[in-house]
Chain A
Amino acid sequence: MRRALRRLRGRRRRVLTAAALTAAAGLAVGVAGTVGYSLATGYDRAATRTDQPDVLGRFAPQRLSVLRERLERLPNVERISYRLEVNRVSLAANGQSKRNGAVHVVRPGRRGYVVVAGRDLGSRAGETLVERGVANEWDLGIGDSIDVGGLGSLRIAGIALSVDNVAFPLATVPRIYVTEAEIARRFGPDDDPGVNLALVWLADSSRLDVTLASARPAVFGLRTEQLLTRRAVRQVIDQAAGIVIALLAVFGLVACACAGVMLAAASAAEVRRRAPALGVQRALGASRRQVVGGEALDAVLVAAPAAALGLGVGALAATGPTAHLLGFLNEVAPGSALLGPLAGAFAGLVAVAAAGAAWPAWRLNRRPVSALLRGGDLCAGPARRRRARSGGLVGLGAHFAFARRGRWTSTVSALAVAGAAMLLVLAVADLLVSLRDDPGTLGRRYALTVPGEQSDAAPIARIPGVAAAAQRSTVQAADSFSLTEPLRVIAYPGDHVPFEAPPLAEGRRLASDSEVEVGLGLADALGLRPGRELAIQPAGSGELRFRVVGIVRALENDGRVVYARTARLRDADPSLGGPIAVRLESGADRGEVVRRLNQAGFQSSATGGATPRNRSFLGVLAAVLRAVALAIGLVCLAAILQTLALTTRDRRRALAVLRATGAPPAAVAAVLAGTAAALVVPAVVLAVALQRLLLGPIVAELAASYATLPLGVGATGILLVGGGLIAIGAVAVLVVTRSAVREPVAAGIERDD
């Protein structure tokens, strides 16, 4: 160990460069790991912390005694709490107000939420708990007052966090909690109060299916809206957040892999450079194992503190935006639980650095000692046919880069992976914008919606510029068999293809009222294929059965959608409605059509995308993505700096001779610019190919296997990443040139490399 430290002190600058690269890789892993881990585990953590029930049953309002009698006979039940959810209540506080608030009337027992500030509701009169999202958005604190329609002013006793939905304002409904005693004080006691929510905790969560199987007959006859398991609640939350969370989590994994590749390449390059020194050790009698062990130990000693620093800084940088993001989802930041994954990442980074040093050292040591003394990889391997080069100073620099094929290959690979990761960031950002703004991303072909009845469709269709119009109905439903797979039925009176046509993955389009197309997300969850039967239970009506004829790649609702015709749904629920979807003629002026619709007495609105439209949510996402991109950019800078520094070191004498013959600092910069160009240009080309052919499809598949995500990269993205890498290369050239010309020319000529 002491000898290793002495060795490292002897090459201080190189050690600092390697440490900087490791720290940059650590930074990337720290940021990506924190984002990925926090998002991937946020729900489970929040569910545990908030004591989320295993099953959440929503019913039409019932007497408590009725629900109790039905539910408390179920097997495997540990505890049930009941609540009354009152909707469309006006809430106002701190200058803010909403008319669509929800008041949850809670009873003694397990609550299914956690109080994150203040205290829980007790026997004191006139108190309420507000949901964390409401408190944050309306800037409410303990002791503040909130005006509740029908209840008057209530004092805020605490802030509650519950994970059965995303937070306000991402969820459009602000929620507060009051006790049943408070209601009794205002409206008089009721021995058998009305309730519509049942929170069920199981004795053994792994036997959920047994309980659900019994639940179905038990609730028969009640107007059951939904029986949601934890898994289903998670799906609801994921749907609200859109595809974003899955993308970020997968992106974190990809960024970690990129950093690993770069770190391994850098360690390998450093060992190759030191081939003669390894040869000297062998010549002095060191065994191959000792030499390899020494290189690995050196790498560990350099990588350990640098990786710890990078990981720490990266994690700290990402913690704030990630916690903010989790707040929108009512999820919980990992806190000290992040230490475990960070420790794992630390071990991984150090192991990658050690392996990156040990493996090439092992390979180099298989060569004769004399070959190592002459420079290892330069003289090893079959002799290559060489020819004279030309191309001026820049060309000379490029040839300097190509002469070290191993180093060139590893650096270009690392830059290409990093560039592809940056392209991925841009593609994800573009996708977010298009999911927010462009209905075409979802396969929607209609541009406008108009509130109205089906009878309005015909007059709308006659308006110039309108190609077609039909009523679009959507119904929330659940799979009849388990009641735990929430799904969305989208129905048109006739053919839905003119209005929305997600691509068919299998089967055919529906052709009759008894047929449906289902999204791949739902098909995978329920094991559906063309020819099978789908039984669904729409909210508030009886069971409906359809024959599945096609599977579509629909992005909406995570692919848990069903395309059907309206007729049978309307038979089950005559009040079924929905807006008129308006498809425009090709080239029609939307503004003009909107004007004509207004003249005809129809108020239209533009069709949106899939992700939440909350601007601050998207702002936080953008901040997270920028932090990740910045970390990757720093890794690129470190990689280019290291390769240029190594090339300058290898070609120290050639550069000194150039300077001796009158080359000014600008000429040295031109040579190094050639070296940088030889790295950056192929890296950009490879990065584009890698993103298009590998990373984009992999991330799209992992994030949303049920749909085709357009994660391709456009000319703007290529220009941005290419320009960014060129700018990073230019900075590296300036830094290394400055360092190279600071050395007296004679020093470069006198010493052997």
Chain B
Amino acid sequence: MACQHRCPVSSPSLRLRGLTKTVGSGRAARRVLDAVDLDLMPGELVAVVGPSGSGKSTLLHLAGGLDLPEAGEVQVAGERLSGRSDADLARLRARHIGFVFQAFHLVAELSGEENVRLAARFGSRDAAGRVASLIDAVDLRSVAGSLPAQLSGGEQQRFALARALVNDPTVLLADEPTGNLDARSGETVLDLLRRSTDSGRAVLVVTHDPAVTSRADRVLHLQDGALG
């Protein structure tokens, strides 16, 4: 049974059960996730750390429905991701999931503000009304009309964060959000991530950055396919 927007405290915003994924094929095949379980509660910021290639990004992709697991199940806001059509999965992502990537991945032809507005097209009707306030919240009003190539890394990542939050998602999934930033910019982004949990949003961060783990509610280690 799906909860409407923010689930009760007793119900996890993100639930992973028995998640299994193998990458590569033949002799190069490697199981990076082996029956992984995780409950991410509303308002919680959980950091996942692990060596390079341990499957952190894969975990995030499976949690957000960007890829399909070989086994196991993902529930976001009480809704199962498996067995859905592409369009259905897209609707669910638009409503409940926000992504932040290490390399920002803003569309190069669109200004920072247009990138945020583009994501708002896929969310609820009031998403477009949140664009201006979010840009103010990430303190980017003065450069809202600039193209990504004209922005610093920190500014790009803050626009990417605004884009992830514009549809007011239940879960925010961040893949090395400070990995390409200097310390000061990283700190700003981290503040924004932390603040985003105030309204009950759950945040799952994959990181190598100790500054992130120090601000997390829980830190989980992913190694040899196991999360603990």
Asked whether B122 lies within 8 Å of A664 as measured between CB atoms, the reply is yes
Q: How far is the CA of A744 from the CA of B67 in the complex (A)?
A: 5
Asked whether A661 lies within 8 Å of B93 as measured between CB atoms, the reply is yes
* Residues of the A chain whose Cβ atoms lie less than 8 Å from the Cβ of B91: 662, 664
* Residues of the A chain whose Cβ atoms lie less than 8 Å from the Cβ of B64: 660
* Residues of the A chain whose Cβ atoms lie less than 8 Å from the Cβ of B109: 388-389, 396, 399-400, 403
Asked whether A667 lies within 8 Å of B86 as measured between CB atoms, the reply is no
Interface size in chain A (residues, C-beta < 8 A): 32
A332 to chain B, nearest CB (A): 58
Residues A744 and B66 in contact in the complex (CB < 8 Å), given A654-B107, A662-B94 = yes
Query: Does A393 have its Cβ within 8 Å of any Cβ on chain B?
Result: yes
Residues of B94-108 contacting chain A, CB below 8 A? 94-95, 97-99, 101, 105, 107-108
B70 to chain A, nearest CB (A): 13
Mostly, the A contact residues are helix
Query: Does B135 have its Cβ within 8 Å of any Cβ on chain A?
Result: no
Asked whether B86 lies within 8 Å of A749 as measured between CB atoms, the reply is no
Contact among B67, B86, B90, B111 for A746, CB-based, below 8 A? B67
Query: Does B218 have its Cβ within 8 Å of any Cβ on chain A?
Result: no
Q: How far is the CA of A654 from the CA of B160 in the complex (A)?
A: 13
Residue of A nearest to B95 (CB): A662
Residues of A378-428 contacting chain B, CB below 8 A? 386-390, 392-393, 396, 399-400, 403
Residue of A656, A657, A666 with most chain B CB atoms under a 10 A cut-off = A657
Residues A663 and B90 in contact in the complex (CB < 8 Å), given A403-B109, A750-B57 = yes
Residues A662 and B167 in contact in the complex (CB < 8 Å), given A388-B111, A388-B147, A396-B107 = yes
Query: Does B19 have its Cβ within 8 Å of any Cβ on chain A?
Result: no
B154 to chain A, nearest CB (A): 19
Query: Does B61 have its Cβ within 8 Å of any Cβ on chain A?
Result: yes
How many inter-chain contacts with C-beta < 8 Å in the A-B complex? 100
Residues of A659-717 contacting chain B, CB below 8 A? 659-667
* Residues of the A chain whose Cβ atoms lie less than 8 Å from the Cβ of B118: 393, 396, 658, 661
* Residues of the A chain whose Cβ atoms lie less than 8 Å from the Cβ of B86: 664-665, 741
Residues A657 and B122 in contact in the complex (CB < 8 Å), given A662-B94, A749-B101 = no
Q: How far is the CA of A511 from the CA of B121 in the complex (A)?
A: 77
Asked whether B95 lies within 8 Å of A661 as measured between CB atoms, the reply is no
6 A–B contacts, CB within 8 A, in A order: A386-B149, A654-B105, A661-B118, A662-B94, A744-B66, A749-B105
* Residues of the A chain whose Cβ atoms lie less than 8 Å from the Cβ of B122: 661-664, 667
* Residues of the B chain whose Cβ atoms lie less than 8 Å from the Cβ of A741: 86
Q: How far is the CA of A746 from the CA of B114 in the complex (A)?
A: 23
* Residues of the B chain whose Cβ atoms lie less than 8 Å from the Cβ of A659: 66, 90, 93
Contact among A390, A399, A658, A746 for B61, CB-based, below 8 A? A746
Residues of A728-743 contacting chain B, CB below 8 A? 741
Query: Does B68 have its Cβ within 8 Å of any Cβ on chain A?
Result: yes
Q: How far is the CA of A654 from the CA of B114 in the complex (A)?
A: 14
* Residues of the B chain whose Cβ atoms lie less than 8 Å from the Cβ of A338: none
Residue of B nearest to A389 (CB): B109
0/1 interface trace, chain B 121-155, chain A, CB 8 Å (1 if under):
11100000000000000000000011101000000
Query: Does A726 have its Cβ within 8 Å of any Cβ on chain B?
Result: no
Residues A745 and B66 in contact in the complex (CB < 8 Å), given A661-B94, A662-B93 = yes
Query: Does B87 have its Cβ within 8 Å of any Cβ on chain A?
Result: yes
Asked whether A653 lies within 8 Å of B105 as measured between CB atoms, the reply is yes
Asked whether A664 lies within 8 Å of B90 as measured between CB atoms, the reply is yes
Residue of B99, B107, B121, B163 with most chain A CB atoms under a 10 A cut-off = B107
A209 to chain B, nearest CB (A): 71
Query: Does B110 have its Cβ within 8 Å of any Cβ on chain A?
Result: yes
* Residues of the B chain whose Cβ atoms lie less than 8 Å from the Cβ of A749: 61, 66, 101, 105
